[in-house]
Amino acid sequence: MEPIIYMWQVSACMGVFYGFYFVLLRRLTFFTINRWYLLATLLLSVVIPLLTITVHRETAPIIMQKAVIINQVLPSAGLQINVADKQTSRTIIDWVKIAEIAYLIVTITLFIKLIVTIARFFNKLKNASITKIGGVRIIKAIGNISNGSFFNYVMLNSGELNPEEMEQVLGHEMLHVKHLHSIDRMIVRLMQVAFWFNPFIYRYAQAIEENHEFEVDDEIGRRADKGRYADMLLHLSINRQDILFNSFSKVPLKRRITMLFTKPTNHMKKVIYLLILPLVLISCLAFARFKNDIVQQEQYSVIAGIDLLGDDFKVFIDGKSYDKDIVYKISGSCIKSSEIKPVAPAKVVNGKWADAVVNIKTKKGDIVYMSEQEKENLIKERSVAFDKFYVRLHLKDNSGKPFDKAIVHKWRGASASVDIQPLDKIGFLIDGVFYNENDIRFIDPKDMDALADEVSVQMVKQGQYARGIAAVFTLHTLKKPTGAQSKAKIQKEGKLKPVAIAGKPAPDRIPAIPGNVENDLSNTVSEQNFIRKTVMNSNSPFYSRFHFDRANGKGFDVVAIKYKSNAFTSINVQPNEKAGVFIDNKFYSEDALRKFTQAQTANLERDTSEAHYEMNQKNNLPKGYFPVPTGFITK
């Protein structure tokens, strides 16, 4: 049905443009402008219905105040309802298909006829006497030939012209050649082939042909006697309808002679052509296709890590499956716990997990949706850049009462936050030295990088550190390692020598160094941020493995271990390599590590002992495994 609709839209568009010409322009003597108007609008009539105008409309995610669950009685699985088809068997005629076939038959026939006409014309030229004047070929013949032109060919009927008339006709047709009128005619003829059913295309053809003759007659009338020229037009008048060739006197004589003696239109009336712009705009609005492009505002969720998921993830709340959009609506007030489990290893596509499952447990079995105020607070929190060490946000609760949220971020994603009253103050305890908020603002960011990733926060009594201090963030700087600690330091910086696996030579790789992209086993900054945001959310497991692809077709995996809920370590490996971790001097494989719960790993700390370092160098591991440089012990 769409091709038929398009054809009718083109026809209607032509009708609008031709109507404007017929009412306002056809009596004006601006023949050249009228010529270009007709050609341009003819082509616009074909193009405008093909245009797609995209209308951008921004909508915010729907926020509901309360989730209401309605119990519905569903038909049993075995129950089937059959509806009898009342239509009797009969042959259905597809009139649309018939119309399309008929259109194609006529169009192909007209196109073949056009090709044959052109071929016959050039075939006649083989035996014709041709004289060249510049780039124009003059054909003189006696008999069945009309005075006219086609591109750079000019035909003269010597039998019906005296020398003076021949000179006049030749000058007339040379102007047609000069103005390239044959190109206009070919465009119109092709349009007639394609839109033969459209009555306006024939009106266009007539109008374009008239303007050609008016344009040439006007130019000749300025340099010759108009009366004698009009007599010649009358003498040589013919009534041959062939849009392909420029015939000397094809256009009705009365109209040509009238326009020849018409007083030139006042140039001030050219302002009428300015109306073409709103006409084109109206035509676009009427006949172009409109597409609603709904631009969704960025969605935020109280569940950390949702922004790392692609489109293909599933949501389960209290064991029941829900539409994935619910993660952007559910309120944190009803959530007891939440967990995001990607497939193992997590496949990363365009910075998103390719597949994952979100498991949510509610406090009382009820689902509560975010209020507008909760949504506003969440957007403010999620908009905080991770490169800012300290941020204090001014928020409101559901009753409209204001409160502040203080947030500290470390570059590897370690973070801590606390809700306080607007007048309360925040303190920072760094290596046992107290700093207030103003002090922190003047610390060099480079000095902040020297701080360890671990950060904690606790509410304190009034006056414990300074007046008005309600909460304190505790941090410490990286201590200069000595002895066994220096080995741990080396491991952390990614300079540990490769470990041999089961007696085989050590692989040619080292743990990734942040910001280093020297080979296929190194992370880009965006990948580092992705891993950091993934691992350092409250839902991430103790052990994670990610897969990244490179443009050269190669890929690598990243093994990440999260500990203390606010710190992690990682190493890059080949996709076919296996990794493991020493915990309390016992080696655990990947499968075993995936089964660890947050409760089991809550008391783990990094093992920086000499014994762990030596154990890392031994080859008594399962075949194909190598240890992650960092080990852990239970405190």
pLDDT digits (tens, 9 = 90+) for 601-610: 777 877 766 6
Find all residues with CB under 8 Å of 608, minimum gap 6, and list them: 481, 484, 485, 487, 488
pLDDT digits (tens, 9 = 90+) for 534-592: 776 666 778 888 888 776 677 778 888 877 656 677 777 778 778 888 888 788 888 88
Q: How far apart are CA 49 and CA 163, in angstroms?
A: 52
- Edge-to-edge strands of the sheet including 415-420? 390-396, 402-409, 415-420
8 Å CB contact between 285 and 13: no
**Residue 387: count of CB within 10 angstroms of its CB:** 9
Question: Residue 19: its pLDDT value, please?
Answer: 92
- 469-475 vs 425-430, strand pairing mode: parallel
Find all residues with CB under 8 Å of 450, minimum gap 6, and list them: 477, 478
Question: Residue 617: its pLDDT value, please?
Answer: 55
- Edge-to-edge strands of the sheet including 153-157? 130-133, 136-141, 153-157, 148-150, 246-247
Q: How far is the first Cα of the chain from the last one, in angstroms, to the nearest whole number? A: 74
- 543-549 vs 346-349, strand pairing mode: parallel
Question: Residue 142: its pLDDT value, please?
Answer: 55
519 three-class SS: coil
pLDDT digits (tens, 9 = 90+) for 12-53: 999 999 999 999 998 888 888 999 999 999 999 999 988 877
pTM greater than 0.85: no
pLDDT digits (tens, 9 = 90+) for 140-173: 775 566 778 888 888 887 777 777 778 888 888 8
pLDDT digits (tens, 9 = 90+) for 91-120: 456 777 888 889 999 999 999 999 998 888
pLDDT digits (tens, 9 = 90+) for 400-442: 899 999 988 775 556 788 999 998 999 998 888 888 887 776 6
Average pLDDT over the chain, rounded to an integer: 75
**Residue 312: count of CB within 10 angstroms of its CB:** 12
- Edge-to-edge strands of the sheet including 469-475? 433-436, 425-430, 469-475, 456-459
Question: Residue 221: its pLDDT value, please?
Answer: 82
User: Quick one: average pLDDT of 81-95?
Assistant: 46
pLDDT digits (tens, 9 = 90+) for 179-188: 898 999 999 9
Classify residue 478 by its DSSP letter. P
Burial grade of 70 (CB within 10 A; 0-12, 13-18, 19 or more)? exposed
Q: How far apart are CA 496 and CA 277, in angstroms?
A: 71
8 Å CB contact between 568 and 412: yes
User: Quick one: average pLDDT of 301-322?
Assistant: 85
Q: How far apart are CA 572 and CA 516, in angstroms?
A: 12
8 Å CB contact between 50 and 290: no
Question: Residue 445: its pLDDT value, please?
Answer: 57
pLDDT digits (tens, 9 = 90+) for 293-302: 554 556 788 8
412 three-class SS: coil
106 three-class SS: helix
pLDDT digits (tens, 9 = 90+) for 46-80: 999 888 776 655 554 433 333 333 223 333 333 33
Question: Residue 627: its pLDDT value, please?
Answer: 65
